[in-house]
Structure 1
Amino acid sequence: MWSLEEKKEIAKIGMTGALAATVATSFFLKNRSMKRLHVGAGAALVGFSLWHHFLYQGKKERESKEKEIAQES
Structure 2
Amino acid sequence: MNFGFVIKIVAVFSKQPFLQITIRELSKQAKLSYNATHRTVQQLLKEKILLQQKYGTVCVLTMNP
Asked whether the two chains share a fold, i.e. TM above 0.5, the reply is no
Could you say which structure has the higher helix fraction?
1
Could you say which structure has the higher strand fraction?
2
Tell which structure's C-alpha radius of gyration is larger. Answer: 1
TM-score by length of 1: 0.29
